[in-house]
Each structure stands twice: as C-alpha cells, then as structure tokens.
Structure 1
Amino acid sequence: MAGAVLNTVNVRLNAPTIAFLLGHSSSVVVMVDQEYFPLAEEALKIWEEQSKGHYKPPLLIVIGDENCDPGALKSALGRGAVEYEKFLESGDPEYAWKPPEDEWQSISLGYTSGTTVSPKGVVLHHRGAYLMALSGPLVWGMTEGAVYLWTLPMFHCNGWCFPWSLAALCGTNICLRQVTAKAVYSAIAEYAGAAPPPSVLLAMSQKGFRVTHTYGLSETYGPSTVCAWKPEWDSLPPVTQARLNARQGVRYIGLEGLDIFNPQTMQPVPADGPLPNNEFHS
C-alpha cells in the first residue's frame, strides 16, 4: 500500500552479507525483530563504512517482543530506533491507498545465498504475487479464517506468498520464535497444523500426518507444482505411498504452463518417467 518494494532478509546471514544486501537494494527502511537488533546494527555500521560518504541512514524500526530480553529493545530505542507499535500509531487510517499503475511493477526483492560471489537478487512483480497468493489457497483447500502455523521463513520466496494469502482469507498466523519439535506440536495442539518438509513424508505419515508434496523456486514465487493425491493410493503400502508422494508435477492453477524437456535438445518429451526409487528411513 505504501508503494515500497519488500526485501525480506535471511537472519542466518552474517553482518557483512546483510550489509551488502541493504546497500545493493538501497534500503530506506529497516524493520528488525529485537532479537536480531545487534546483527542489524552491525550490518548498518559496515554499510556506512563501505559507502564512502554516500550513506544515508535508513529509518530503523524495531519490533518488540516480551519474550525477548527487554535490554535489547531498550538499547535499540536509545540508538534512535522507533518501536513498531509506536510507528504504526503515526500512520493515517484514512490514507487513500492506490494499487500500482502497472501490475508488472516490483513488489519484492529476494536474494539468493551467495557461495562464491555476492548474492543475486530475484525481483517479483505484483501480478505474480497476486496470482500465487490466490493460487495457493485453492491448491491447499484453505477457506476463510484459515489458521496457518509458520515454519517457513518469509525470506524464502516471501513465505510462498502466504502472508498475502492469509490476509485475503482473513486468516490467523501462528508464529514460533524457535522452530522446535516441542513448539510445533504445542502449536498444533493449541491452534492448527502446517505442512512439513517433503523429506520426511514417510515418517510423518506414520505419525498420522497427511503430507502434500510441492515444488517451486524463487522465480515462481514459491511452490508451483504439486503431487495431486489419488484416492486409490490410500490402500497402498506406506512405502509405495511415500514413493508416489515424492513426485510433484501437477501445475498450480496460477501457473500458465508446465512441460518436461530433454536437457540436450530442449524439446518436450513424454511425461512417462519411472517412479522415484528412493529409500525412506523413519
């Protein structure tokens, strides 16, 4: 609504890498959870040192959390940061926002993890995010008021566009500060469930979970293909079910086209490949 381009930063990166992202993206606002304020502060310092006089301090907004050390928030506010709730109070509830003039305008910028070189950026547009935000709930059978337990970080393809999906559905986001088995099970018992990674398909099914396998990448805004489960597979042995569920090749409703190509000739080939013969261990 503000016309800004979102750039969710991987909190597992070190300060020099984050400094590169902030500088490369020309960030003007930095929003950080108070747990990660020291990391953000170090990155901003490095950015300033590397800018050679062209550094313009961004607006620094810190999101407070009573579950964190209150000293970190106090320290942040003492260094010129603005607390998130206070920042929201400065907004205008009557602001007449407008959609972008062009649906192909950028909505977000995501960086891949650089291994031998600096990270590369993937720019996403409003049209793609809109289609994925509506496509996801259709594929996953989500209805109004859905409850979503987050184990997927937003720096992975903007959380597969589910932040927008949940807003469209008037849903509830359940967030964990630490993604641990105990916290996940506690949240499931108290609130709802979420899809676990496909690498634990068999083990999860043995524990009573119904797992849906999807595949995607940054350029497709997250998952864009899914394993469409067939009712006749329900009676098959668990290992066979896991092998079938390890496939994903049915396109999302929002994906325009999907095909299989010969990597040498780049010509389409029949979709008749063998089932994966993976080994599963509980």
Structure 2
Amino acid sequence: MYEAHFGVPMSGAVLNSINIRLNAPTISFLLEHSSSAVIIVDQEFFKLAEQALKILKDKTQVNFKYPHLIVVKDESIECDPNNLLYAIGKGAVEYEKFLECGDPEFAWKPPQDEWQSIALGYTSGTTSSPKGVVLHHRGAYLAATSNVVIWNLPKEVVYLWTLPIFHCNSWCFTWTLAAIYGTNICLRQVTAKGVYSAIANLGATHFCAASVVLNSIVNAPPNDTILPLPRVVHIMTAGAAPPPAVLFKMSQIGFRVAHTYGLSETFGPSTICAWKPE
C-alpha cells in the first residue's frame, strides 16, 4: 500500500485505498463508482475482492469489464497458502512479477495541473451508499508538509504504522515520511504487544492512532508490555478527544499525545490541542 502511494500517482493514475473491513457488496459499489481498472489485493483478501467482483459482474452484466488483478504474496500471514495459487489461477498476476514487467527507463512526470486528482476516498456508507472525497496533488502536498510543521517532525523519525493507510490516505503521512526521509515500520495486525515491541526493538518514535488503540496500549496485560519505554514516544490522535484518564495514563508511561482535528477536504490538521507549560 505504501509503495502504491508513489507508483500509482507517478504512473498518472488515481488511488482508491479500500477499507479491508468492508463487506463484498460495499466494495463492489466502490469498484463500480470509481470505475476501477486495476485492483491490487493482498492474498489474504483475494476472495473478498473476488466476491465483490462477482456482485459487480452480475449487476452490470454486458457492460462489465474485468479489471487487471494483482495479488500481493506475503508468507508471514496465517491464511491458506493456496489463496495465492487460487488467485493466479483466476488470472491475477503476483505483485513482484508485475513489477518485473515495468520499464526501468520509464521517466515519470508530475501532473500537468496540480489540481488533478491524486486519490479518491470513501466513507464506509453506514447510513446510505458510501460518499467519495477527491484529493488533488496540491492538497496532498499541503497536508503532507503541514504534518511536519504541526508535529515538529525530526529527520530521524521512525514511524510505526498503526493508522490504516486506507483511512483518508493515512492523513497523508505516506508522503510526509518520504518528504523527511523517515523510517517506516509496518504491522500486519495492530496489537498492544506489537506496538511495544516496535518501540523497544525497532526504535519507533512516532505513530498515529485512534482513541481505541490508545486504550488498548494503556490497558495491555503486563506480558504484552515492555516498560519503561526507552524514549519518549509521540502519538498523534484525531477526531474525538481521548478520555482524560487515558491521556493521564499515557503520559505516566512515557507517551506524549497530540490531539488534532481536520478533514481530507481541508488538507491536513485544522486544529491542534497544544500542550500548556503546566
């Protein structure tokens, strides 16, 4: 997903990062509404993508055009290894094989107009059909750079991915990290144990997370924690403010939480709750 946030725009295409927690009918709606021509899917979720495509095919029938399917192999996951073979048997190309087909002499060009679309994001459609928000290249740039300023990010940042990249393009932190040549640590599953391990063993200094993740970190069983923390770890949380009790516990352990609020449409954090000296 992180690579796609660079490769897709550099090829002149538009990103649509899909929430893996959605069901097949909803994903089918997104694929149809966005006119997706290429689908890159992890082998764990290939059958979910296939179900969505079947719904779309049954609905559109003669107008259905099968998208190019690219499946990402990951031997570290606990899922049926035959999923990959099944996907390839259904016409999908394995991701690394797909990359080998690329032209090493390809010279990418910036968009002719900075207002051109770079990404399309959707709501989950809780009460009705999902609604889309378009992010343009200029907006992505503004959001990515404002993240650096808002959070005073250092060049030595080691960023832990607890915020899903499908969530508003991870608040544009994909591009932020590249801008300051930070280090990325990716988790397949977000758990308190995984967070503590990344901090203690991989040098994580910053991560973004919702209140529910912060709650799981402060209430993790002793066997899942590695305390004391080797350094102050900075967290950005957004949306509804975390409960004061959670913030207090986080600060006691050694986390420093920044609470921000913003919208994709306003290009980055609109407000931030700055810490007072006291």
TM-score category, normalised to shorter length? 0.7 to 0.9
Q: Distance in 2 between matches of 1:182 and 1:222?
A: 30
> Who wins on radius of gyration, i.e. which is larger?
1
* Residue-pair matches, total: 232
Match among 151, 157, 161 for residue 168 of structure 2: 157
- Aligned residue among 27, 30, 46 for 2:39: 30
SS at match of 1:224: strand
Match for residue 140 of structure 2?
A: 129
Pick from 214, 224, 227: which aligns with 2:270? 224
**2:120–2:133 contact (8 Å) kept in structure 1:** yes
Partner residue of 2:12 out of 3, 6, 19: 3
Distance (Å, rounded) in 2 between the aligned partners of 1:170 and 1:59 = 32
- How far apart in 1 are the matches of 2:131 and 2:186? 28
Unaligned regions of 5+ residues in structure 2, if any?
Answer: 1-9, 211-236
User: Hey, what does 2:6 align to over in structure 1?
Assistant: none
CA deviations over 1:109-164 (Å, ceiling 9, x no partner): 00012123210000111101011111112222223352110111122110010111
1:206 aligns with 2:215: no
For 2:275, the aligned partner's letter is W
Of 39, 61, 64, 1:55 maps to: 64
Q: Conserved in 2, the CA contact under 8 Å of 1:195 and 1:211?
A: no
TM-superposition CA deviations, 1:220-265 (whole Å, max 9, x none): 34533212223x22xxxxxxxxxxxxxxxxxxxxxxxxxxxxxxxx
Sort the Cα spacing of 1:226 and 1:206 in 2 relative to 1 into closer, same or farther, 3 A. same
For 1:270, the equivalent position in structure 2 comes to: none
Q: 1:182 aligns with which of 184, 187, 193?
A: 193
TM-score normalized by the length of structure 1: 0.78
Gaps of 5+ in 1: 234-282
CA contact (8 A) 2:161 2:208 kept: no
Distance 1:110 1:89 in 2: 29
The letter of the residue matching 1:14 is: N
Q: Which residue of 2 aligns with 1:75?
A: 86
Q: Secondary structure at the match of 2:255?
A: coil
Q: Taking structure 2 as the reference length, what is the TM-score of the superposition?
A: 0.79
Quick check: 2:147–2:268 contact (8 Å CA) kept in 1? no
- Cα RMSD for the two superposed structures: 1.5
Out of 107, 120, 132, the residue aligned to residue 131 of structure 2 is 120
Go from structure 1 to structure 2 and tell me whether the alpha carbon gap of 1:181 and 1:33 turns closer, same or farther (over 3 Å shift): same
Pairwise CA distance, 1:31? 0.7
Quick one: structure 1 residues 91 and 144, their matched pair in 2 at CA, closer, same or farther if it must change by over 3 Å?
Answer: farther
* Change in 2 beyond 3 A, CA 1:159/1:196: closer
